[in-house]
Amino acid sequence: MMEIKEIYELINNIGVLVFSTINGDEVHSRIAHFNGCDEDGIYFRTMANKPFGRQLIETGKVTVCGISDSKCLGYEEEGTPNFPPSYTIRLIGDVKKVAPEIIKEKAKTNKALMSAANDIDKYPAMAEGNFVIYKAKGEIFDVDFDCINRDHKLLRKRFSFGGVPFNPAGVRITDACIECGKCKKVCTFKAIEEGTPYKVREDRCDDCGSCLMACPVNAIEESLTF
């Protein structure tokens, strides 16, 4: 179980992330950042009269994702992917506006919200520009493909706050398993453990599907989105 503060710290360490909203039958994205958290959720701001703000108010929904090190998108000369240890985080949340007097009150004891409180006085439009994601579910993908810091490639964690349920990660092996070991052999993520039946570690599974293709008796079920 992850605390909101822990989730916020991972997000804040990335700094700038992609925020997407729904605009009619379109999905719209932009770059933004968060500016604080408390037990009520994770805060960010944008003027309410911008398209971003209007979409947030109209739908009450936002999705956010980011990566801690975007250098991982390169390739070595011989074609090997260059993927240094990094993590991605993504979440789907319900969002609502926060009144300026509430931001100012919270900022008295929450330093991270001080810039939001100051902006309310500086920019008239910012009075209506504070939002909080008050419930959300999401996932962290911590990758180390060259096994520099550990002996397996992926450490994956799902989370939620505000009482949102979420599905476990990874593919699942059913009782139809005949314990042939073919799935374990093809899994380069060290995510499969022997047993009756064999088991998938949800914190290591990448959902790549290699094991599904290898299983002779279709004993592996596809993963669920969170």
Interface characters, 168-197, with ligand SF4 (x: CB under 6 A): --xx-x---xxxxxxx--xx-x-xx----x
Size of the site for ligand SF4 (CB under 6 A): 30
User: Which residue lies nearer to ligand SF4 by CB, 43 or 198?
Assistant: 198
User: Which residue lies nearer to ligand SF4 by CB, 18 or 212?
Assistant: 212
User: Which residue lies nearer to ligand SF4 by CB, 141 or 166?
Assistant: 141
DSSP category for residue 184: H
Asked if the bond preceding 165 is cis, omega within 30° of 0, the reply is no
Give yes or no for a contact between 137 and 164, defined as CB atoms under 8 angstroms apart: yes
User: Which residue lies nearer to ligand SF4 by CB, 51 or 81?
Assistant: 81
143 binds ligand SF4 (CB under 6 A): no
Bridge partner residues of 138 (DSSP): 91, 159
Give yes or no for a contact between 226 and 140, defined as CB atoms under 8 angstroms apart: no
Number of H helices and E strands in the chain, helices first, is 6, 14
195-214 residues near ligand SF4, rule: CB under 6 A = 197-198, 200, 205-211, 214
Look at residues 119, 100, 93 and name the one whose alpha carbon lies nearest to residue 20.
93
Interface characters, 26-65, with ligand SF4 (x: CB under 6 A): ----------------------------------------
Binding site for ligand SF4 (CB under 6 A): 170-171, 173, 177-183, 186-187, 189, 191-192, 197-198, 200, 205-211, 214-215, 217, 219-220
